[in-house]
């Protein structure tokens, strides 16, 4: 059973990587690890790594029939409830980080006859 799961996961990863490299695809896997400043984000890396590890634990325990209510409840509390809350409130993940700054320069009028 674990072998089948590994094959499915590798197939999904391969498909995502192919779509990532396609110029017509809207999927860009680099966006998962890039922060608002355009640089690699340690926090994003840790968050996605934590999600993958905890999801693997849930899948592994489910396949071995050792998943407890406490483990599943902790998983739901950590990952599912915050995502559903954002969906209900209608807040997009990028809405908090998008800021528009407008600047303008005002030049005071020069007296007549003087060179600027």
In a domain, 57, yes or no: yes
Cα dihedral 9, 11, 13, 15 sign? negative
Matching residue, tokens 């999904």:
12
Output the six-digit token pair for 60: 């592994």
In a domain, 63, yes or no: yes
Given this model, what pLDDT does residue 115 score? 61
Number of domains making up the chain: 1
Output the six-digit token pair for 48: 């996605």
Q: What is the pTM (predicted TM-score) of this model?
A: 0.54
In a domain, 4, yes or no: no
Q: What is the pLDDT of residues 71-112, one digit of tens each?
A: 999 998 888 888 888 888 876 555 544 555 566 666 777 777
Given this model, what pLDDT does residue 21 score? 74
Given this model, what pLDDT does residue 93 score? 52
How far is residue 7 from each of residues 15, 50, 57, 78, 90, measured CA to CA in Å?
Answer: 12, 22, 17, 27, 36
Cα dihedral 73, 79, 84, 85 sign? positive
Q: What is the pLDDT of residues 31-58, one digit of tens each?
A: 777 777 878 778 878 888 888 889 888 9
In a domain, 28, yes or no: yes
* Structural domain boundaries enclosing 24: 20-80
Buried b (16+ CB within 10 A) or exposed e, 28-39: eeeeebeeeeee
* CA 46/CA 3 separation, integer angstroms: 27
In a domain, 41, yes or no: yes
Given this model, what pLDDT does residue 70 score? 93
């Amino acid at each position: 059973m674990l072998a089948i799961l590994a094959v499915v996961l590798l197939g999904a990863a391969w498909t995502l990587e192919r779509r990532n490299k396609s110029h017509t695809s809207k999927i860009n896997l680099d966006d998962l690890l890039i922060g608002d400043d355009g640089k690699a984000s340690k926090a994003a890396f840790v968050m996605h790594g934590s999600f993958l590890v905890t999801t693997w634990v849930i899948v592994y325990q489910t396949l071995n029939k050792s998943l407890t209510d406490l483990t599943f409840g902790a998983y739901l509390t950590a990952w599912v409830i915050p995502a559903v809350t954002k969906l209900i409130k209608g807040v997009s993940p990028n809405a908090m980080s998008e800021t528009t700054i407008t600047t303008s320069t005002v030049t005071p009028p020069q007296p007549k006859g003087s060179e600027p």
